[in-house]
Amino acid sequence: MATLTSREDDYSKWYNELVIKADMAENSGVRGCMVIKPYGYAIWEKMQHHLDQMFKDTGHENAYFPLFIPKSYLSKESDHVEGFAKECAVVTHYRLKNAPDGHGVVVDPEAKLEEELIVRPTSETIIWNTYKNWIKSHRDLPILINQWANVVRWEMRTRLFLRTAEFLWQEGHTAHVSKEEAIEEAEKMLKVYTEFVENFMAIPVIQGVKSPAERFAGAEETYCIEAMMQDGKALQAGTSHFLGQNFAKAFDVKYQSKEGKQEYVWATSWGVSTRLIGALIMSHSDNNGLVLPPKIAPIQVVIVPIHKTEDQLNAIADLAYTLKSQLKQMNISLKFDDRTEYKPGWKFNEYELKGVPVRIAIGPKDLENRQVEIARRDTLEKHLHSVDGLAEYIQSLLQDIQQNIFNKAKERRDSLITEVNTYDEFKKVLDEKGGFVSAHWDGSLEVEEKIKAETKATIRCIPLDAKEENGVCIYSGKPSQRRVLFARAY
Protein backbone atom coordinates (compact mmCIF):
# COMPACT_ATOMS: atom_id res chain seq x y z
CA MET A 1 0.00 0.00 0.00
CA ALA A 2 1.66 3.25 -1.14
CA THR A 3 1.74 5.93 1.56
CA LEU A 4 -0.64 8.79 1.67
CA THR A 5 0.54 12.24 0.65
CA SER A 6 0.86 14.24 3.87
CA ARG A 7 -1.48 17.11 4.69
CA GLU A 8 1.45 19.45 5.06
CA ASP A 9 2.80 18.63 1.59
CA ASP A 10 -0.47 19.00 -0.29
CA TYR A 11 -3.75 19.15 1.59
CA SER A 12 -5.87 18.86 -1.51
CA LYS A 13 -3.97 15.85 -2.81
CA TRP A 14 -4.07 14.26 0.66
CA TYR A 15 -7.88 14.55 0.62
CA ASN A 16 -8.32 13.13 -2.87
CA GLU A 17 -5.99 10.21 -2.20
CA LEU A 18 -7.58 9.45 1.14
CA VAL A 19 -11.09 9.22 -0.30
CA ILE A 20 -9.85 6.69 -2.84
CA LYS A 21 -7.49 4.68 -0.62
CA ALA A 22 -9.99 4.37 2.21
CA ASP A 23 -12.52 2.98 -0.27
CA MET A 24 -15.02 5.75 0.34
CA ALA A 25 -15.83 6.83 -3.21
CA GLU A 26 -14.40 7.19 -6.69
CA ASN A 27 -15.11 9.07 -9.88
CA SER A 28 -17.37 7.32 -12.35
CA GLY A 29 -17.42 7.24 -16.10
CA VAL A 30 -20.00 10.04 -15.95
CA ARG A 31 -18.54 13.51 -15.69
CA GLY A 32 -18.80 14.83 -12.13
CA CYS A 33 -20.82 11.89 -10.81
CA MET A 34 -19.29 9.73 -8.12
CA VAL A 35 -19.63 6.10 -7.14
CA ILE A 36 -20.12 5.87 -3.38
CA LYS A 37 -18.41 2.63 -2.39
CA PRO A 38 -19.74 0.35 0.35
CA TYR A 39 -17.49 1.77 3.07
CA GLY A 40 -18.46 5.35 2.26
CA TYR A 41 -22.11 4.42 1.84
CA ALA A 42 -22.14 2.69 5.24
CA ILE A 43 -21.23 6.06 6.78
CA TRP A 44 -24.07 7.71 4.84
CA GLU A 45 -26.46 5.03 6.11
CA LYS A 46 -25.45 5.76 9.71
CA MET A 47 -25.95 9.47 9.09
CA GLN A 48 -29.35 8.81 7.52
CA HIS A 49 -30.38 6.60 10.40
CA HIS A 50 -29.67 9.19 13.08
CA LEU A 51 -30.97 12.19 11.10
CA ASP A 52 -34.14 10.38 10.11
CA GLN A 53 -34.84 9.56 13.75
CA MET A 54 -34.30 13.20 14.70
CA PHE A 55 -36.66 14.37 11.94
CA LYS A 56 -39.34 11.94 13.08
CA ASP A 57 -38.87 12.92 16.70
CA THR A 58 -39.61 16.51 15.66
CA GLY A 59 -42.84 15.49 13.93
CA HIS A 60 -41.77 15.06 10.31
CA GLU A 61 -42.78 12.33 7.86
CA ASN A 62 -41.02 11.14 4.73
CA ALA A 63 -42.52 11.25 1.26
CA TYR A 64 -41.25 11.11 -2.30
CA PHE A 65 -41.69 13.59 -5.14
CA PRO A 66 -40.73 13.26 -8.83
CA LEU A 67 -37.13 13.39 -10.03
CA PHE A 68 -38.19 15.60 -12.93
CA ILE A 69 -39.40 19.19 -12.83
CA PRO A 70 -41.20 20.68 -15.84
CA LYS A 71 -39.21 23.66 -17.08
CA SER A 72 -42.14 26.00 -16.57
CA TYR A 73 -42.33 25.18 -12.83
CA LEU A 74 -38.73 26.20 -12.33
CA SER A 75 -39.46 29.62 -13.83
CA LYS A 76 -42.30 30.45 -11.49
CA GLU A 77 -40.20 31.84 -8.67
CA SER A 78 -37.88 34.38 -10.27
CA ASP A 79 -34.97 34.29 -7.80
CA HIS A 80 -35.13 30.53 -7.69
CA VAL A 81 -34.77 30.01 -11.43
CA GLU A 82 -32.00 32.60 -11.53
CA GLY A 83 -30.10 30.55 -8.95
CA PHE A 84 -30.48 27.15 -10.57
CA ALA A 85 -31.01 27.54 -14.32
CA LYS A 86 -27.33 27.67 -15.13
CA GLU A 87 -26.49 24.25 -13.78
CA CYS A 88 -29.38 22.02 -14.81
CA ALA A 89 -29.42 18.61 -16.47
CA VAL A 90 -32.19 18.84 -19.08
CA VAL A 91 -34.18 15.88 -20.41
CA THR A 92 -35.38 16.64 -23.94
CA HIS A 93 -36.21 13.19 -25.39
CA TYR A 94 -37.78 9.96 -24.22
CA ARG A 95 -36.50 7.35 -26.62
CA LEU A 96 -33.41 6.04 -28.41
CA LYS A 97 -33.41 4.16 -31.68
CA ASN A 98 -30.93 2.09 -33.63
CA ALA A 99 -28.39 4.26 -35.41
CA PRO A 100 -29.00 4.42 -39.18
CA ASP A 101 -25.46 3.13 -39.78
CA GLY A 102 -26.20 0.06 -37.63
CA HIS A 103 -23.69 1.02 -34.94
CA GLY A 104 -25.16 1.65 -31.51
CA VAL A 105 -28.13 3.88 -30.74
CA VAL A 106 -29.03 7.50 -31.31
CA VAL A 107 -31.61 9.82 -29.82
CA ASP A 108 -34.89 9.41 -31.69
CA PRO A 109 -35.78 12.89 -32.98
CA GLU A 110 -39.43 11.81 -33.16
CA ALA A 111 -39.44 11.40 -29.38
CA LYS A 112 -38.94 15.00 -28.39
CA LEU A 113 -40.74 16.15 -25.25
CA GLU A 114 -43.20 18.99 -25.67
CA GLU A 115 -41.84 20.58 -22.53
CA GLU A 116 -38.33 19.86 -21.35
CA LEU A 117 -37.87 18.28 -17.92
CA ILE A 118 -35.19 19.39 -15.48
CA VAL A 119 -33.53 16.81 -13.26
CA ARG A 120 -34.28 18.28 -9.81
CA PRO A 121 -31.51 20.47 -8.42
CA THR A 122 -33.80 20.92 -5.36
CA SER A 123 -37.52 20.26 -5.10
CA GLU A 124 -39.27 23.44 -3.94
CA THR A 125 -41.11 23.94 -7.23
CA ILE A 126 -42.44 20.42 -7.78
CA ILE A 127 -43.36 20.17 -4.11
CA TRP A 128 -45.18 23.50 -3.92
CA ASN A 129 -47.03 22.61 -7.08
CA THR A 130 -48.19 19.50 -5.16
CA TYR A 131 -48.91 21.26 -1.87
CA LYS A 132 -51.27 23.52 -3.79
CA ASN A 133 -53.73 20.61 -3.94
CA TRP A 134 -53.14 19.46 -0.39
CA ILE A 135 -53.85 22.72 1.33
CA LYS A 136 -57.34 24.19 1.58
CA SER A 137 -57.81 25.04 5.23
CA HIS A 138 -55.77 25.90 8.30
CA ARG A 139 -56.64 22.36 9.40
CA ASP A 140 -54.35 21.02 6.65
CA LEU A 141 -51.39 22.81 8.21
CA PRO A 142 -48.64 22.46 9.17
CA ILE A 143 -47.27 20.08 6.56
CA LEU A 144 -43.99 18.67 7.84
CA ILE A 145 -42.39 16.55 5.15
CA ASN A 146 -38.89 15.35 4.42
CA GLN A 147 -37.54 13.61 1.34
CA TRP A 148 -34.40 11.47 0.94
CA ALA A 149 -33.31 11.85 -2.66
CA ASN A 150 -30.65 12.36 -5.28
CA VAL A 151 -30.29 15.78 -6.89
CA VAL A 152 -28.24 17.09 -9.79
CA ARG A 153 -26.43 20.41 -10.18
CA TRP A 154 -24.18 20.63 -13.15
CA GLU A 155 -21.06 21.90 -11.40
CA MET A 156 -18.10 22.63 -13.64
CA ARG A 157 -15.38 21.76 -11.12
CA THR A 158 -16.17 18.71 -9.04
CA ARG A 159 -14.50 16.92 -6.10
CA LEU A 160 -15.55 13.67 -4.47
CA PHE A 161 -18.21 14.32 -1.81
CA LEU A 162 -17.50 18.08 -1.64
CA ARG A 163 -18.94 19.06 -4.99
CA THR A 164 -20.41 16.52 -7.37
CA ALA A 165 -22.90 16.85 -10.20
CA GLU A 166 -25.17 14.29 -8.55
CA PHE A 167 -25.34 14.02 -4.79
CA LEU A 168 -27.54 12.43 -2.17
CA TRP A 169 -29.32 14.51 0.40
CA GLN A 170 -32.45 15.06 2.39
CA GLU A 171 -34.66 18.05 1.84
CA GLY A 172 -37.36 19.09 4.28
CA HIS A 173 -40.26 21.15 2.93
CA THR A 174 -42.77 22.52 5.39
CA ALA A 175 -45.87 24.69 5.14
CA HIS A 176 -47.29 26.82 7.95
CA VAL A 177 -50.12 29.18 8.84
CA SER A 178 -47.90 31.98 10.07
CA LYS A 179 -44.59 33.67 9.60
CA GLU A 180 -43.69 33.05 13.26
CA GLU A 181 -44.37 29.33 13.01
CA ALA A 182 -42.30 29.02 9.83
CA ILE A 183 -39.37 30.89 11.35
CA GLU A 184 -39.61 28.71 14.44
CA GLU A 185 -39.46 25.61 12.20
CA ALA A 186 -36.43 26.88 10.26
CA GLU A 187 -34.64 27.62 13.54
CA LYS A 188 -35.65 24.27 15.04
CA MET A 189 -34.16 22.37 12.12
CA LEU A 190 -30.95 24.39 12.35
CA LYS A 191 -30.71 23.17 15.94
CA VAL A 192 -31.35 19.59 14.85
CA TYR A 193 -28.51 19.88 12.32
CA THR A 194 -26.22 21.43 14.92
CA GLU A 195 -26.91 18.60 17.35
CA PHE A 196 -26.40 15.97 14.70
CA VAL A 197 -23.19 17.39 13.25
CA GLU A 198 -21.65 18.09 16.66
CA ASN A 199 -22.80 15.03 18.60
CA PHE A 200 -22.60 12.36 15.92
CA MET A 201 -20.04 13.63 13.44
CA ALA A 202 -17.98 15.40 16.13
CA ILE A 203 -17.67 18.52 13.98
CA PRO A 204 -18.11 21.80 15.88
CA VAL A 205 -20.16 24.36 13.96
CA ILE A 206 -21.09 28.01 14.15
CA GLN A 207 -24.78 28.75 13.76
CA GLY A 208 -25.64 31.86 11.85
CA VAL A 209 -27.57 33.47 9.04
CA LYS A 210 -26.30 34.17 5.56
CA SER A 211 -25.89 37.64 4.12
CA PRO A 212 -28.59 38.43 1.52
CA ALA A 213 -26.16 37.69 -1.32
CA GLU A 214 -25.41 34.20 0.00
CA ARG A 215 -29.02 33.23 0.65
CA PHE A 216 -30.68 30.27 -1.02
CA ALA A 217 -32.36 31.32 -4.26
CA GLY A 218 -35.92 32.11 -3.19
CA ALA A 219 -35.35 32.40 0.57
CA GLU A 220 -36.03 35.37 2.84
CA GLU A 221 -33.56 34.12 5.41
CA THR A 222 -31.00 31.33 5.19
CA TYR A 223 -29.83 29.86 8.47
CA CYS A 224 -26.63 27.86 8.26
CA ILE A 225 -24.07 25.92 10.21
CA GLU A 226 -20.47 26.57 9.23
CA ALA A 227 -17.58 24.23 9.94
CA MET A 228 -13.83 24.83 9.75
CA MET A 229 -11.54 22.37 8.02
CA GLN A 230 -7.93 21.60 9.01
CA ASP A 231 -6.52 23.72 6.20
CA GLY A 232 -8.27 26.86 7.41
CA LYS A 233 -11.05 26.79 4.84
CA ALA A 234 -14.68 26.88 5.89
CA LEU A 235 -17.37 24.44 4.79
CA GLN A 236 -21.13 25.01 4.91
CA ALA A 237 -22.44 21.93 6.67
CA GLY A 238 -26.18 22.47 6.46
CA THR A 239 -28.79 25.13 5.69
CA SER A 240 -32.34 25.83 6.79
CA HIS A 241 -34.35 28.40 4.87
CA PHE A 242 -37.26 30.61 5.83
CA LEU A 243 -38.92 31.00 2.43
CA GLY A 244 -41.56 33.52 3.43
CA GLN A 245 -44.53 33.35 1.07
CA ASN A 246 -42.42 33.34 -2.09
CA PHE A 247 -43.28 29.82 -3.22
CA ALA A 248 -46.86 30.06 -1.97
CA LYS A 249 -47.31 33.12 -4.17
CA ALA A 250 -45.50 31.62 -7.14
CA PHE A 251 -47.72 28.51 -7.00
CA ASP A 252 -50.81 30.23 -5.61
CA VAL A 253 -51.04 28.18 -2.41
CA LYS A 254 -53.59 29.68 -0.02
CA TYR A 255 -55.46 28.40 3.00
CA GLN A 256 -58.65 29.45 4.66
CA SER A 257 -57.82 30.80 8.10
CA LYS A 258 -59.88 30.22 11.24
CA GLU A 259 -61.40 33.60 10.56
CA GLY A 260 -62.46 32.48 7.10
CA LYS A 261 -59.95 34.54 5.14
CA GLN A 262 -57.81 33.28 2.23
CA GLU A 263 -54.15 33.62 3.19
CA TYR A 264 -50.89 32.63 1.52
CA VAL A 265 -49.01 29.84 3.22
CA TRP A 266 -45.58 30.30 4.86
CA ALA A 267 -42.74 27.95 4.01
CA THR A 268 -39.38 26.52 5.02
CA SER A 269 -36.93 24.13 3.44
CA TRP A 270 -33.77 22.60 4.89
CA GLY A 271 -31.16 20.11 3.79
CA VAL A 272 -27.89 18.33 4.38
CA SER A 273 -26.08 16.16 1.87
CA THR A 274 -23.29 13.68 1.21
CA ARG A 275 -21.09 16.78 1.24
CA LEU A 276 -21.02 16.29 5.01
CA ILE A 277 -18.92 13.17 4.44
CA GLY A 278 -16.30 15.44 2.89
CA ALA A 279 -16.46 17.62 6.00
CA LEU A 280 -16.11 14.54 8.19
CA ILE A 281 -12.98 13.43 6.38
CA MET A 282 -11.40 16.87 6.36
CA SER A 283 -12.21 17.62 10.01
CA HIS A 284 -10.62 14.67 11.76
CA SER A 285 -8.36 12.61 9.52
CA ASP A 286 -4.56 12.57 9.64
CA ASN A 287 -1.58 11.46 7.57
CA ASN A 288 -2.26 7.81 8.42
CA GLY A 289 -5.78 7.94 7.05
CA LEU A 290 -9.34 8.45 8.20
CA VAL A 291 -10.24 9.18 11.80
CA LEU A 292 -13.91 8.36 12.32
CA PRO A 293 -16.00 9.31 15.34
CA PRO A 294 -17.33 6.04 16.85
CA LYS A 295 -20.98 7.07 16.46
CA ILE A 296 -20.63 7.23 12.70
CA ALA A 297 -18.00 4.52 12.08
CA PRO A 298 -19.24 1.49 10.09
CA ILE A 299 -16.85 -0.72 12.10
CA GLN A 300 -16.31 0.50 15.64
CA VAL A 301 -13.92 -2.17 16.88
CA VAL A 302 -11.70 -4.56 14.95
CA ILE A 303 -9.81 -7.57 16.27
CA VAL A 304 -6.65 -8.63 14.48
CA PRO A 305 -5.38 -12.05 15.56
CA ILE A 306 -1.64 -12.70 15.68
CA HIS A 307 -0.97 -16.41 15.51
CA LYS A 308 1.30 -19.10 14.16
CA THR A 309 -0.83 -22.20 14.68
CA GLU A 310 -4.43 -23.11 13.98
CA ASP A 311 -4.94 -23.80 17.69
CA GLN A 312 -3.85 -20.30 18.58
CA LEU A 313 -6.24 -18.85 16.01
CA ASN A 314 -9.10 -20.92 17.44
CA ALA A 315 -8.39 -19.71 20.96
CA ILE A 316 -8.30 -16.10 19.77
CA ALA A 317 -11.52 -16.66 17.81
CA ASP A 318 -13.26 -17.90 20.97
CA LEU A 319 -12.34 -14.71 22.75
CA ALA A 320 -13.29 -12.58 19.73
CA TYR A 321 -16.76 -14.07 19.34
CA THR A 322 -17.47 -13.80 23.06
CA LEU A 323 -16.54 -10.14 22.98
CA LYS A 324 -18.50 -9.60 19.77
CA SER A 325 -21.70 -10.90 21.31
CA GLN A 326 -21.17 -8.87 24.48
CA LEU A 327 -20.62 -5.71 22.43
CA LYS A 328 -23.63 -6.46 20.25
CA GLN A 329 -25.79 -6.16 23.37
CA MET A 330 -24.36 -2.66 23.74
CA ASN A 331 -25.03 -1.83 20.06
CA ILE A 332 -21.31 -1.77 19.31
CA SER A 333 -20.11 -3.35 16.08
CA LEU A 334 -17.02 -5.55 16.08
CA LYS A 335 -15.26 -7.11 13.12
CA PHE A 336 -13.01 -10.11 13.65
CA ASP A 337 -10.56 -10.14 10.77
CA ASP A 338 -9.33 -13.72 10.60
CA ARG A 339 -8.31 -13.60 6.94
CA THR A 340 -5.11 -15.57 6.54
CA GLU A 341 -4.06 -14.11 3.20
CA TYR A 342 -3.10 -10.81 4.86
CA LYS A 343 -0.46 -10.30 7.54
CA PRO A 344 -1.24 -8.49 10.84
CA GLY A 345 0.95 -5.52 9.90
CA TRP A 346 -0.97 -5.07 6.65
CA LYS A 347 -4.24 -5.20 8.56
CA PHE A 348 -3.03 -2.63 11.10
CA ASN A 349 -2.34 -0.19 8.27
CA GLU A 350 -5.63 -0.99 6.60
CA TYR A 351 -7.76 -0.25 9.67
CA GLU A 352 -5.73 2.83 10.46
CA LEU A 353 -6.40 4.04 6.91
CA LYS A 354 -10.10 3.30 7.32
CA GLY A 355 -10.32 5.08 10.64
CA VAL A 356 -11.67 2.23 12.79
CA PRO A 357 -11.80 3.84 16.25
CA VAL A 358 -10.51 0.88 18.29
CA ARG A 359 -8.17 -1.86 17.11
CA ILE A 360 -7.48 -4.86 19.27
CA ALA A 361 -4.53 -7.16 18.67
CA ILE A 362 -4.43 -10.56 20.36
CA GLY A 363 -1.41 -12.87 20.26
CA PRO A 364 -0.59 -16.16 22.02
CA LYS A 365 1.28 -14.29 24.81
CA ASP A 366 -1.80 -12.10 25.38
CA LEU A 367 -3.99 -15.17 25.69
CA GLU A 368 -1.66 -16.62 28.33
CA ASN A 369 -1.75 -13.34 30.27
CA ARG A 370 -5.50 -12.92 29.70
CA GLN A 371 -4.97 -9.50 28.16
CA VAL A 372 -5.25 -7.75 24.81
CA GLU A 373 -3.47 -4.85 23.14
CA ILE A 374 -5.73 -1.90 22.40
CA ALA A 375 -4.89 0.84 19.91
CA ARG A 376 -6.91 4.05 19.74
CA ARG A 377 -7.17 5.51 16.27
CA ASP A 378 -7.62 9.11 17.43
CA THR A 379 -4.41 9.33 19.46
CA LEU A 380 -2.59 6.32 17.95
CA GLU A 381 -1.81 5.26 21.54
CA LYS A 382 -1.53 1.60 22.47
CA HIS A 383 -2.04 -0.02 25.84
CA LEU A 384 -2.84 -3.40 27.38
CA HIS A 385 -6.14 -4.28 29.01
CA SER A 386 -7.30 -7.35 30.87
CA VAL A 387 -9.86 -9.62 29.21
CA ASP A 388 -11.97 -9.11 32.33
CA GLY A 389 -14.40 -6.23 31.97
CA LEU A 390 -13.23 -5.67 28.40
CA ALA A 391 -16.67 -4.97 26.87
CA GLU A 392 -17.51 -2.31 29.45
CA TYR A 393 -14.08 -0.79 29.02
CA ILE A 394 -14.52 -0.57 25.24
CA GLN A 395 -17.91 1.02 25.65
CA SER A 396 -16.48 3.81 27.75
CA LEU A 397 -13.37 4.06 25.56
CA LEU A 398 -15.57 4.70 22.51
CA GLN A 399 -17.38 7.48 24.35
CA ASP A 400 -14.03 8.92 25.30
CA ILE A 401 -12.81 8.79 21.71
CA GLN A 402 -16.00 10.44 20.42
CA GLN A 403 -15.55 13.28 22.89
CA ASN A 404 -11.83 13.60 22.25
CA ILE A 405 -12.30 13.88 18.49
CA PHE A 406 -14.86 16.62 19.00
CA ASN A 407 -12.68 18.47 21.52
CA LYS A 408 -9.68 18.36 19.23
CA ALA A 409 -11.69 19.70 16.31
CA LYS A 410 -13.18 22.40 18.52
CA GLU A 411 -9.83 23.55 19.85
CA ARG A 412 -8.51 23.80 16.35
CA ARG A 413 -11.62 25.61 15.13
CA ASP A 414 -11.51 28.07 18.04
CA SER A 415 -7.87 28.81 17.33
CA LEU A 416 -8.88 29.59 13.77
CA ILE A 417 -11.23 32.46 14.60
CA THR A 418 -9.38 35.75 14.47
CA GLU A 419 -10.78 39.19 15.14
CA VAL A 420 -9.39 41.92 12.90
CA ASN A 421 -10.12 45.62 12.71
CA THR A 422 -8.44 46.70 9.48
CA TYR A 423 -8.52 45.44 5.92
CA ASP A 424 -4.73 44.96 5.96
CA GLU A 425 -4.96 42.72 9.00
CA PHE A 426 -7.87 40.93 7.32
CA LYS A 427 -5.82 40.06 4.23
CA LYS A 428 -2.78 39.11 6.27
CA VAL A 429 -4.76 36.69 8.45
CA LEU A 430 -6.45 35.16 5.43
CA ASP A 431 -3.16 34.59 3.67
CA GLU A 432 -0.95 33.58 6.57
CA LYS A 433 -3.28 31.82 8.98
CA GLY A 434 -6.61 31.17 7.29
CA GLY A 435 -9.71 30.27 9.26
CA PHE A 436 -12.64 32.48 10.15
CA VAL A 437 -11.89 36.17 10.20
CA SER A 438 -14.26 38.10 12.45
CA ALA A 439 -14.68 41.62 11.19
CA HIS A 440 -17.06 44.53 10.98
CA TRP A 441 -18.96 44.91 7.72
CA ASP A 442 -21.26 47.74 6.71
CA GLY A 443 -23.96 45.38 5.42
CA SER A 444 -23.65 46.44 1.80
CA LEU A 445 -23.58 44.08 -1.15
CA GLU A 446 -20.96 46.29 -2.76
CA VAL A 447 -18.38 45.76 -0.01
CA GLU A 448 -19.17 42.05 0.19
CA GLU A 449 -18.53 41.66 -3.54
CA LYS A 450 -15.35 43.71 -3.52
CA ILE A 451 -13.87 41.77 -0.64
CA LYS A 452 -14.76 38.52 -2.39
CA ALA A 453 -13.21 39.65 -5.67
CA GLU A 454 -10.03 40.88 -3.96
CA THR A 455 -9.49 38.08 -1.43
CA LYS A 456 -11.73 35.13 -2.42
CA ALA A 457 -13.20 35.32 1.10
CA THR A 458 -16.96 35.28 1.50
CA ILE A 459 -19.18 36.08 4.43
CA ARG A 460 -19.79 32.62 5.88
CA CYS A 461 -22.38 33.83 8.33
CA ILE A 462 -23.57 36.40 10.77
CA PRO A 463 -23.36 34.28 13.93
CA LEU A 464 -26.62 33.91 15.84
CA ASP A 465 -24.75 34.71 19.04
CA ALA A 466 -22.90 37.73 17.62
CA LYS A 467 -22.96 40.37 20.31
CA GLU A 468 -23.86 43.97 19.56
CA GLU A 469 -20.66 45.94 19.25
CA ASN A 470 -20.17 49.32 17.65
CA GLY A 471 -17.43 49.32 15.07
CA VAL A 472 -16.57 50.39 11.57
CA CYS A 473 -16.53 48.34 8.40
CA ILE A 474 -12.98 47.18 7.62
CA TYR A 475 -13.50 48.09 3.97
CA SER A 476 -15.71 51.18 3.84
CA GLY A 477 -15.19 52.62 7.31
CA LYS A 478 -18.94 52.96 7.66
CA PRO A 479 -20.56 52.10 11.00
CA SER A 480 -21.39 48.48 11.86
CA GLN A 481 -23.25 46.98 14.83
CA ARG A 482 -21.78 43.50 14.88
CA ARG A 483 -18.96 41.40 13.52
CA VAL A 484 -19.53 38.78 10.81
CA LEU A 485 -17.38 35.80 9.90
CA PHE A 486 -15.46 35.81 6.64
CA ALA A 487 -13.47 32.88 5.26
CA ARG A 488 -12.29 31.22 2.14
CA ALA A 489 -14.52 28.21 1.74
CA TYR A 490 -15.12 24.89 0.05
Helix (H) or strand (E) holding 437: strand 436-440
Q: Compare residues 218 and 463 and give the one whose CB is closer to its own copies.
A: 218
CB of 361: closest distance to its own copies in angstroms? 23
State the CB neighbour count (10 A cutoff) for residue 133: 8
Q: Compare residues 12 and 62 and give the one whose CB is closer to its own copies.
A: 62
C-alpha distance across the termini of the chain, in Å: 29
Q: Which of residues 252-291 bind its own copies (CB under 8 A)?
A: none
**Could you tell me which stretch among 9-17, 143-151, 254-262, 396-404 binds its own copies (CB under 8 A)?**
143-151
Binding to its own copies by CB under 8 A, coded x per residue (else -) over 308-347, reads ---------------------------------x------
Q: Compare residues 165 and 202 and give the one whose CB is closer to its own copies.
A: 165
CB of 445: closest distance to its own copies in angstroms? 21
Taking the C-alpha atoms of residue 459 and residue 373, their distance in angstroms, rounded to an integer, is: 48
Q: Which one among 10, 63, 322, 419 touches its own copies, defined by CB under 8 A?
A: 63
Q: Compare residues 64 and 321 and give the one whose CB is closer to its own copies.
A: 64
The answer to whether 160 and 107 have CB atoms below 8 angstroms apart is: no
CB of 54: closest distance to its own copies in angstroms? 16
60 residue type, one letter: H
Taking the C-alpha atoms of residue 276 and residue 273, their distance in angstroms, rounded to an integer, is: 6
Q: Which of residues 71-110 bind its own copies (CB under 8 A)?
A: 71-75, 81, 85-98, 104-105, 107
Q: Which one among 9, 10, 12, 35 touches its own copies, defined by CB under 8 A?
A: 35
**Residue 160 sits in the site that holds its own copies (CB under 8 A):** no
Taking the C-alpha atoms of residue 145 and residue 59, their distance in angstroms, rounded to an integer, is: 9
**Could you tell me which stretch among 126-134, 302-310, 380-388, 414-422 binds its own copies (CB under 8 A)?**
126-134
Q: Which of residues 341-380 bind its own copies (CB under 8 A)?
A: 341
CB of 263: closest distance to its own copies in angstroms? 19
Q: Which one among 18, 47, 51, 126 touches its own copies, defined by CB under 8 A?
A: 126
Helix (H) or strand (E) holding 463: strand 458-463
- Using alpha carbons, select from 462, 482, 479 the residue that is nearest to residue 213: 462
Taking the C-alpha atoms of residue 336 and residue 301, their distance in angstroms, rounded to an integer, is: 9
Q: Compare residues 38 and 477 and give the one whose CB is closer to its own copies.
A: 38
Taking the C-alpha atoms of residue 191 and residue 175, their distance in angstroms, rounded to an integer, is: 19
254 residue type, one letter: K
- Using alpha carbons, select from 461, 441, 457 the residue that is nearest to residue 206: 461
Report residue 395 CA to chain centroid gap.
26
DSSP E strands: which ranges in 216-337? 221-228, 234-244, 254-256, 262-264, 266-273, 301-305, 334-336
Q: Which residues make up the interface to its own copies (CB under 8 A)?
A: 26, 28-30, 33-38, 41-42, 44-45, 61-75, 81, 85-98, 104-105, 107, 116-119, 126, 129-130, 133, 139, 145, 149-150, 152, 154, 166, 168, 341
